[in-house]
Each structure stands twice: as structure tokens, then as C-alpha cells.
A and B are shown apart, each in its own frame.
Chain A
Amino acid sequence: MDPTFLSAKRLASLVRRGDIGCVELLDHYIARVERHDGRINAVVVRDFERARKRARTLDRRRKQGARGPLLGVPMTIKESFDIAGLPTTWGVPAQKDVIATHNALAVDRLLDAGVVLFGKTNVPLLLADWQSYNAIYGTTNNPWDLALSPGGSSGGAAAALAAGLTGIEAGSDIGSSIRNPAHYCGVYGHKPTWGICPPLGHSLNGNVAQSDISVIGPLARSADDLAVALDVMAGPEPIETGWRLNLPPPRQAAFKGLRVAVMTDHPLSEVDASITGRLDELATFLRRQGAKVSLTARPDFDLAEGHRLFIELLRATTSGRTDAAGMRHWRNEAARLPNGDESYYAMMARGISMTHRDFIIGNETRQRMRRAWAAFFQDWDVFLCPAAASPAVPHDHAGERWERTIPLNGHRVPATDQMFWAGISGFYLLPATVAPLGFAPSGLPVGVQIVGPQYGDRGTIQLARLLEKAWQGFVPPSGWD
């Protein structure tokens, strides 16, 4: 059997049963990287020799009875995670020769679960784009169409999975960086509830304080894999001895009785008809399956106000890297632009130069909105919406991100409009799983964002699992055999 596009769970079971050895499986994916990755440039840091050594050790240990939920699964991981002995650059040229001395906590946990890490995958500069190109590693292409971006910032991760270059992946997400590439490449991704997966060792400067909104989480070719990897990555880090994670089981085992709210569009972010149409079809399908479906149920607060607050607090949260000159610039810009200016640029300027006092005041408003979401999820089990405004877009490296536009519905809209779909879950710290939704007329994959209540991670993954069986699963792009 060709293992290339199997789920990590299936790969682990092949290894467990002795149907394939760890070295043999690793070599299979290494051969594929060597043969195919020239086209997409996804696996930009390669660590084959150490991986082979580890695979040999695991083969031996397996024969001695060693077990692990991901034992023997070859894995690549987003470049931004520290792996001792490999570079961590986040695409910043000045970081080119920085070699990590320790593994990220998530890397250690995945290794304990038995994975064989053999490379790192590409990212945009500072992980701040829905594309994945930088001066160190170049540009990653989408395996579905090389003229398109695989998304970002975990773009190399999603591309490697879709092209069958690896068994499982892990990425990070503060503004859709797991969800966007999963959607663009037709794979699965899970953005966990904020705080349950410690990001220690996922930081450019060795920072130890957790960043607001930002999370780490898995990408995979199957919903099952998300559940397995989440269990591996979640739980307090050793210094936090006083709390224990106890994620509740999914509320529903089947479609029947599932309470589903669906939102296909919003005035702040127009969505391509290929996505809204397919979401409508999914709503109809779910209804036929016995789910209770509403196209109008919404949390009881102004989502537009939430979006504006999201952009300001997001940009405040990522302002730590701004130097003194940059701060002067953004302060001047914020002062220059009228208060009522709600362009992304103006909100960004206000966010970067925000006082901590204003941050606390904004955070309080966010907290009340989180309560409204919690009340909403008393009545509804999941909230379905787009992961982004369109299917994968052509490479566009010109200018700044906030100046770019993307094509949809026959015209162009600002690329940053779709930040709305990043914030609708992420800003409120909610879990969100992206699962294949189907295909646009162009043949490109599109995904659905499945949002759940805080700590409802198992519920969102469970719906992805149900949809995988009954609606749409992972389909490999053509030309990657």
C-alpha cells in the first residue's frame, strides 16, 4: 500500500503492526521531498540524517514493545518552532545563522509521542502574512496550482501535507495562520482554545511570556490526527503545577440533534461565492442529517465592533517588535488619521501605539464579548463560517500587506478585510477547526471554519470527523503521485 496520503493515525497503526518500519516510512517521505519539493519549496530545513538515526532507534524500541500514539510517524514542523541544532529564523535575514539550542516544549512532547522530525517548513517574514515567502528560504507554492500561494503563515506546513511530503504538521495561529493555509491547501487544521497548548520555544527571541490571541496547533490530512496531536500538545507546562486540563468530550456523537449556527458572509468581509455557496449546501446537508441549523443565530454583541477591537488589540499585541523609530512613526500616523477612520491601516496605527491603559479597557470589552459567546454556545454547539474570503490567491509580493487586494466574485477587495474571519474565533480565544468543505469551480479546495465554545476543542474536531466521513474528506491534488 502506498502510504503517501494516509493519515498519521493510519501510518502509526501500520508501524505498530509491523507492516512498515520507521526507517522505511521515513525514507519514503524523504524520497518524496527530494523528488517533489523542488516544485513547491515547502520543506526548507532538512534534517534527514539525524531523523534516520532516530527512526532506526524507534524501530529497535518498537520491537522491544515501545508504544506511542504517533510512533514512527515522519513529521515536519513550521520553521518557527525551536528544534535543537536547526535554525529558527522566522524568515528574518538577521536570524539566518541562529541555531536553536533547545527543543520547543511542543517538539519534545511530539517526540515523546513517537514522531520522527525530519524537517521544517516555510513561513512568511515574522509569520505575518497569508503567503509564505522570505529572503532566506524563498517562496512556497500551492500544490494545487504553483502560481498560487499555499497561504500562511503555516504555509509550508499545509503545502507539505497536501503534497504528501510528510505525515503530520504543527503550526501557529494569531490571525488565521493555521486556518488560512489549511483552507487554501485542502487539509485539516486546528486552532486550539487559547492557553491549552503551551507555546514555550515558539518565539523568535526566547520569550517566555505567552502572547495574547496566539496559539500553536496541529495540521493534518485527517480530523482524527488533529485529535491525536492535540492530546499530545495540550496541557500545562511543568512550571504551572496547579492546573490540569480536562477537555470535555464532544457534545454530540452524530449529526442528529447537533445545534449548528451558520454564517456565510459579513458586511465587513465579502466572501467568494464558491465558499458561501458550498456553506449553504453544507447547511442543507446538515439539516437533512437531523441537525438543528440556523442561518441567523449570532452571539449577542456587535461583531463589527468586535472586529475593530480585534485589529487594535492584535496590533498592540504584536507591537513588541516595533523599534523606537517605528513607534514614533505609528504614533504620528495614529494622530494624523481621523478617529472615525476604520480602515485597517488606521486601526493598525492606533493599535501599535496604544497605551496599556487603553489595552486594559479594550480587553474588558473583549471579555464581555467572550461572555456573550459563552451564552451563545449554551444554545448552539458549533458555529460554522468561512476561514478566509476566497480560495487560494496568486502570489503577490508587492508592497505592504495592508496595501494588497485579492480577487473574488469578479472584483478585488482589500486582502486584510478577511482578517474578520481570523478574529471571529481567535480574538475570543475560542477553538476553531478548519476542515475541507469541497471545491471551487476552479478546482481549488475550500475549507469551513468550525468554531466551538471555550475548551470545546473536542467538539469542533468531532464535527470535522463527521464531515470527513459523510461530506468531504481530504483529496490529494493531482500530479503528486
Chain B
Amino acid sequence: MTELAFLPAWRLAELVRNGAIGCLELLDHYIARVERLDDRTNAVVVRDFDRARDRARMLDQQRRDGRAGPLFGVPMTVKESFNVAGLRSTWGFEEYRNNVAAEDALAIQRLSSAGAVVFGKTNVPVSLADWQSYNPIYGATANPWNLAHTPGGSSGGAAASMAAGFAGLEIGSDIGGSIRVPAHYCGVFGHKPTWGLCPSRGHALSVVAAMTDISVIGPLARSATDLALALDVIAGPDPAETALATPLPPPRAARLADLRVAVWSSQPGQATDTETTGAIEALADFLEREGAQVSRTARPEFDATEAFHIYLKLLNTALSARLTEDKLVRMREAAARHAADDMRPEAIMLRTVDMTHRDWLRVNERRFQLRRAWGAFFQDWDVLLCPVIATAALPHMQQGEPWERHVTVNGRTIPYDDMLFWPGVTCAYHLPASTAPIGTTSAGLPIGVQIVGPLYGDRTTIHVAGLLERHWRQFVPPPGWE
């Protein structure tokens, strides 16, 4: 029954529907795996087995009474940052150690209504602000492909849980790669929806009612089909927004041969590991052979550096309300140590510390102009393929603040925050982006690709992920997790 653990959610739901397996039996299978194997990864850090078993028993009863749902009986873990009534929601902050949510996040309500059985929560970095997942409350999560490496972040526990076969489906959040990077690091699928498509109510430490710019919630899974299934469940306006319907257009092209694909595998001035670039180029060659229209030079009509810098400013200002006074003081001091004309990412971000709303409006206006350039670009191209981030999964690195760290890419040392380029150049503009596994490095670590589409083109990017899954590479479990 090991294979069962690595089946996609849609298959699990099918087995339950057919009566081939019971909800409780399936849940117990995953619980047993978590109990047996999660010591190695430390992914499922909040466990809620008893309530989940009660619910699974109830669902088994309901199934016999004819009740169904697209995720009926699928055992699920969710990112720690989602409120689940009765469970801790800490975002890794020591001071929120005893913060217990009173009600489910809207997305959790919707997933439960679709029949999912939530039985645990998965690890995150402090404040969800890293591409690693460690914090003083739950410790560090390791990558199932290599325990010396991070699974990524901030939905790092989620991606590890998928890769190690601990759950059927996951849900995470993303403002700077937090769904896409861990999916890529762990060799699983992830989808960052068009901004605003999936209401994030209940994905907040305090009761945040307003939407955070750039930030989204979205699924992680072992199959592109699951991304489509989960997106349908969590998308659509908050009931308060009654007059807005979001009828997502169907995929633009059914077959690889019908696709118009722009490939952006490296960018001058931005470090991208040659193995990552090589994997995307190999995929481009394949798509060409399959008859797709492929361009390796098509780009949106903007200066990529400006597009990146706009992102850095919007990202940091969007997150500024979460900063403590103490952190603000340290950022001001750090900003003062950088020259005014220092255009390195960390300097640009630090300088936003006290940005006026007036200056933000100007940056926002430029963002919307560039958003239109993306819009024009996607008149000519159906999807853009690009790296998710500069490298495959990195070794654990837990010293200092992210902006003080460095990494080595292609033998060159670069600031950690320089790696924001690939995640940010798409999400600042609210675009949907799916991540699919496309290969491995020579060291055996997974490599994923970022499949970017036009605003509300979510079904297109997920469909392309599905085509790659069928014709290029599907999810492969890491060795040693039977």
C-alpha cells in the first residue's frame, strides 16, 4: 500500500467514491506514515488525529448515505498559517505560541465542504518570511530529498508533506514564492492563483479583514489535476462580495502543439543556476519538437530590472504593517548603512521602511502600467516558462536575517534577497503561476518550472502543468520514503 501514499488527491477521492477504501482507513494510512516517518522531516507540526478520525467516521457514514464531494475523504494537511478552529496558529512567532484559532479560515471551510479531512498543520518560517521553514516553536523542517537541505518556504512543511507522502493535498500561501519555491524544491506541483481570486479570510495572525497586496493562497499537490480540483474549491468571492463572479476562462490551448510558449530561462544581471536554466531549455527543446510555437527571446515590453525593483518596494510595503517597532528600528538603522544610490535588492527593500503613501502610489501606478505590458505580452503568448528561483533546494542556513545572508550560484556569491527576482517579477503583477517538476540536478534534487499566464489565466497554466505531467515528467517520490 505504499503507492497509495503517493497517489494524487483525485485518485484518492475516486477510491473513496468507488468504495475501494474507507475515509477512516485512508486517513489512518497517512497518520501511520506521519507517525513513522515525520521525525525525519518535521513537516506536520500540528496534529489533530482524533478529531480527524471522528470526522472520517462521519464521512464514511455519509458516503454510504450517498453524499459526495470533489475531495470527499481526502486526508489533508494545511499550512500552519491557516486558521483551523481549535488548533494553534502561530506563524512561527514565539509570542503567538498559545494562539488558538476560534474558527476556520474561509478556504478551510470550503475544503471541508468539498469533503477533505484536515488532520494536521505544516511548518512555516517566522512570519512566513523565508524560503526555509524553521522557527522557535516547531523547529526546522527538512527536505525529503535530502535532509541536509531545506524544503523551501514559506509553505515548506506543505511541500515536504506532499513529497514524503504524508497527506493527499495541501494548501499554502505566496507573496514572494512561498507556494512556488517549496513546490520546486520538493518536486511537487503548486499553483499561485491570480491575485484576488481566492479570498484569504482567516489566513492572518490577527483578524485581518483587508486583502494584502500581492499575497495569495493556493494549493500544493502531487498532480496538476489536483491543482485544478482544489482551485475550483477555494476560488470565488467571499460571500460578502455578492456581485462579482469569477468565471475563469478555459485553457487557451488543449494540446502542446497548439501552445504559444515564451521561454525566459535566464536574465542578464540575475544569477540563475546553469542546471535550472538547462532544465528549462531542455523542456523548451521538447516543446518545439512537440510542435508548440516557442520563443526564447519574447519578453514583456518593460525593463526587467525596473519590474523587479517595483516588486521589491511593493513587497516590503505590503508587509510593513506586520513589522514590530523593534524591527522597524533595526530596518531604519540598516537602511542608513546603505548609500542612497545602492540598488542592491536589500538596500531597495530597507529604504521602503518609512515610505509615504504618496510614494507608494507612484510605485503602484508604475506597477499597473507594467501589468498592462504583461497583458499585451499575453495577447501574443499563452504562457511564459521561467525559473521558479535561482537554484534547486539549498542547504539549511539559519544565521541572521535573510537580508544578511549570501548564497553561491554558478560559483558566484550573491545576496540571498537577489533570489527574489524570479518569484517577484511575475507576482507583483498579480499573474497566476503554476509550478511543475521538470527534472533533477546532478545531485539528485528536484527542479521545477514556473508556468506563468495572463491575469485569470489560471486554468491555462494548470492545464499546461498537466500536459507536462502527461508528456514530460510526473511526480516522482523521493527515495527512501516507502
Kindly name the residue among A239, A247, A248, A358 whose own CB sees the greatest number of chain B CB atoms within 10 A. A239
Task: Scan B195-232; emit 1 where CB is below 8 A from any A CB, else 0.
Answer: 00100000000001110000000000000000000000
Q: Which residue of B lies closest to A316 (CB)?
A: B357
Q: Which of A193, A244, A354, A366 contacts B247 (CB 8 A)?
A: A244
B339 at the interface (CB under 8 A from A): no
- A242-B362 in contact given A208-B368, A327-B356, A374-B240 (Cβ < 8 Å): no
Docked pose: A268 CA to B242 CA in angstroms:
32
Contacting pair B210 A356 (CB below 8 A): no
Task: Scan B305-331; emit 1 where CB is below 8 A from any A CB, else 0.
Answer: 000000000000110110100000000
Contacting pair B209 A248 (CB below 8 A): no
Docked pose: A478 CA to B367 CA in angstroms:
51
Task: Scan B343-354; emit 1 where CB is below 8 A from any A CB, else 0.
Answer: 000000000001
Contacting pair A242 B209 (CB below 8 A): no
Q: Which residues of A contact B357 (CB under 8 A)?
A: 316-317, 319, 354-356, 358-359
Contacting pair B249 A454 (CB below 8 A): no
Q: Which residue of B lies closest to A366 (CB)?
A: B210
Shortest Cβ gap from A236 to chain B (Å): 9
B468 at the interface (CB under 8 A from A): no
Q: Which residue of B lies closest to A208 (CB)?
A: B368
Contacting pair A360 B240 (CB below 8 A): no
Docked pose: A371 CA to B209 CA in angstroms:
8
- A241-B456 in contact given A196-B243, A357-B323, A363-B210 (Cβ < 8 Å): yes
Which A-B residue pairs are the 6 nearest by beta carbons?
A242-B456, A455-B243, A209-B368, A367-B209, A367-B210, A319-B358
B244 at the interface (CB under 8 A from A): yes
Contacting pair A239 B358 (CB below 8 A): no
Q: Which residues of B contact A153 (CB under 8 A)?
A: none
Q: Which residue of B lies closest to A321 (CB)?
A: B358
Docked pose: A246 CA to B247 CA in angstroms:
11
Contacting pair A209 B209 (CB below 8 A): no
Contacting pair B361 A208 (CB below 8 A): no
B398 at the interface (CB under 8 A from A): no
Q: Which residues of A contact B210 (CB under 8 A)?
A: 360, 363-364, 366-367
Q: Which of B244, B320, B458 contacts A356 (CB 8 A)?
A: B320
Q: Which residues of B contact A319 (CB under 8 A)?
A: 356-358, 361
Task: Scan B239-276; emit 1 where CB is below 8 A from any A CB, else 0.
Answer: 01111111111000000000000000000000000000
Contacting pair A361 B455 (CB below 8 A): no
A207 at the interface (CB under 8 A from B): yes
A338 at the interface (CB under 8 A from B): no
Q: Which residues of B contact A207 (CB under 8 A)?
A: 365, 368
Shortest Cβ gap from A410 to chain B (Å): 40
Kindly name the residue among A196, A209, A248 whose own CB sees the greatest number of chain B CB atoms within 10 A. A209
A1 at the interface (CB under 8 A from B): no
Task: Scan B424-442; emit 1 where CB is below 8 A from any A CB, else 0.
Answer: 0000000000000000000
Q: Which residue of A lies closest to B323 (CB)?
A: A357
B372 at the interface (CB under 8 A from A): yes
Shortest Cβ gap from B74 to chain A (Å): 27
Q: Which residue of B lies closest to A313 (CB)?
A: B357
Contacting pair B247 A320 (CB below 8 A): no
A352 at the interface (CB under 8 A from B): yes
Docked pose: A355 CA to B361 CA in angstroms:
11
Docked pose: A374 CA to B372 CA in angstroms:
33
Contacting pair A209 B358 (CB below 8 A): no
Docked pose: A319 CA to B318 CA in angstroms:
18
Docked pose: A252 CA to B401 CA in angstroms:
58
Shortest Cβ gap from A359 to chain B (Å): 4
Contacting pair A364 B208 (CB below 8 A): yes
Contacting pair B356 A244 (CB below 8 A): no
Question: Which residues in A have some Cβ–Cβ distance to B below 8 Å?
Answer: 193, 196, 207-209, 239-248, 316-317, 319-320, 322, 327, 352-361, 363-364, 366-368, 370-371, 374, 454-455
Contacting pair B358 A360 (CB below 8 A): no
Q: Which residues of B contact A248 (CB under 8 A)?
A: 242-243
Question: Which residues in B have some Cβ–Cβ distance to A below 8 Å?
Answer: 194, 197, 208-210, 240-249, 317-318, 320-321, 323, 354-362, 364-365, 367-369, 371-372, 375, 454-456, 458
Contacting pair A364 B209 (CB below 8 A): yes
**Sampled A-B contacts (28; CB under 8 Å):** A207-B368, A208-B368, A208-B369, A208-B372, A209-B361, A239-B371, A239-B375, A242-B246, A243-B244, A244-B245, A244-B247, A248-B243, A319-B361, A320-B365, A322-B358, A352-B358, A355-B354, A355-B355, A356-B355, A356-B357, A357-B321, A360-B320, A363-B210, A364-B208, A364-B210, A366-B210, A367-B209, A454-B241
Shortest Cβ gap from A133 to chain B (Å): 27
Q: Which of B240, B321, B372, B458 contacts A364 (CB 8 A)?
A: B321
Inter-chain pairs besides A208-B368, A243-B246, A353-B358, 10 sampled, C-beta below 8 Å: A196-B243, A209-B364, A239-B455, A241-B456, A355-B355, A355-B356, A356-B355, A357-B355, A364-B208, A454-B242
Shortest Cβ gap from B407 to chain A (Å): 29
Shortest Cβ gap from B261 to chain A (Å): 20
Q: Which residues of B contact A239 (CB under 8 A)?
A: 371-372, 375, 455
- A209-B197 in contact given A247-B243, A455-B242 (Cβ < 8 Å): no
Docked pose: A273 CA to B56 CA in angstroms:
65
- A356-B245 in contact given A242-B194, A243-B456, A371-B209 (Cβ < 8 Å): no
A-B contact count (CB 8 A): 118
Contacting pair B361 A320 (CB below 8 A): yes
Kindly name the residue among B244, B360, B456 whose own CB sees the greatest number of chain A CB atoms within 10 A. B244
Q: Which residues of A contact B375 (CB under 8 A)?
A: 239
Contacting pair B249 A241 (CB below 8 A): yes
Shortest Cβ gap from A342 to chain B (Å): 20
Docked pose: A355 CA to B354 CA in angstroms:
6
Docked pose: A319 CA to B362 CA in angstroms:
10
- A208-B246 in contact given A352-B358, A367-B210 (Cβ < 8 Å): no
Docked pose: A242 CA to B453 CA in angstroms:
12
Q: Which of B244, B320, B364, B458 contacts A357 (CB 8 A)?
A: B320
Contacting pair A193 B358 (CB below 8 A): no
Q: Which residues of A contact B240 (CB under 8 A)?
A: 371, 374, 454
Q: Which of B209, B362, B455, B458 contacts A320 (CB 8 A)?
A: B362
Q: Which residues of A contact B355 (CB under 8 A)?
A: 355-357
- A240-B356 in contact given A208-B365, A245-B244, A367-B209 (Cβ < 8 Å): no
Q: Which residues of B contact A357 (CB under 8 A)?
A: 317, 320-321, 323, 354-355
Q: Which residue of A lies closest to B367 (CB)?
A: A209
Kindly name the residue among A208, A248, A355, A363 whose own CB sees the greatest number of chain B CB atoms within 10 A. A355
Shortest Cβ gap from B380 to chain A (Å): 15
Q: Which residues of A contact B197 (CB under 8 A)?
A: 242
Q: Which residue of A lies closest to B363 (CB)?
A: A356
Contacting pair A241 B454 (CB below 8 A): yes
Kindly name the residue among A364, A370, A454 whose own CB sees the greatest number of chain B CB atoms within 10 A. A364
Docked pose: A241 CA to B455 CA in angstroms:
7
Q: Which residues of A contact B458 (CB under 8 A)?
A: 242
Docked pose: A327 CA to B358 CA in angstroms:
9
Docked pose: A366 CA to B364 CA in angstroms:
20
Docked pose: A316 CA to B358 CA in angstroms:
7
Q: Which residues of B contact A363 (CB under 8 A)?
A: 210
Shortest Cβ gap from B300 to chain A (Å): 13
Q: Which residue of B lies closest to A331 (CB)?
A: B356
Q: Which residue of B lies closest to A203 (CB)?
A: B365
Q: Which of A241, A320, A356 contacts B317 (CB 8 A)?
A: A356
Q: Which residue of B lies closest to A326 (CB)?
A: B358
Shortest Cβ gap from B360 to chain A (Å): 4
Docked pose: A207 CA to B372 CA in angstroms:
12
- A368-B209 in contact given A243-B244, A246-B244, A322-B358 (Cβ < 8 Å): yes
Q: Which residues of A contact B241 (CB under 8 A)?
A: 454-455
Docked pose: A327 CA to B357 CA in angstroms:
11
Contacting pair A353 B242 (CB below 8 A): no
Q: Which of B244, B247, B365 contacts A209 (CB 8 A)?
A: B365
Docked pose: A357 CA to B242 CA in angstroms:
29
Kindly name the residue among B249, B361, B372 whose own CB sees the greatest number of chain A CB atoms within 10 A. B361
Contacting pair A245 B323 (CB below 8 A): no
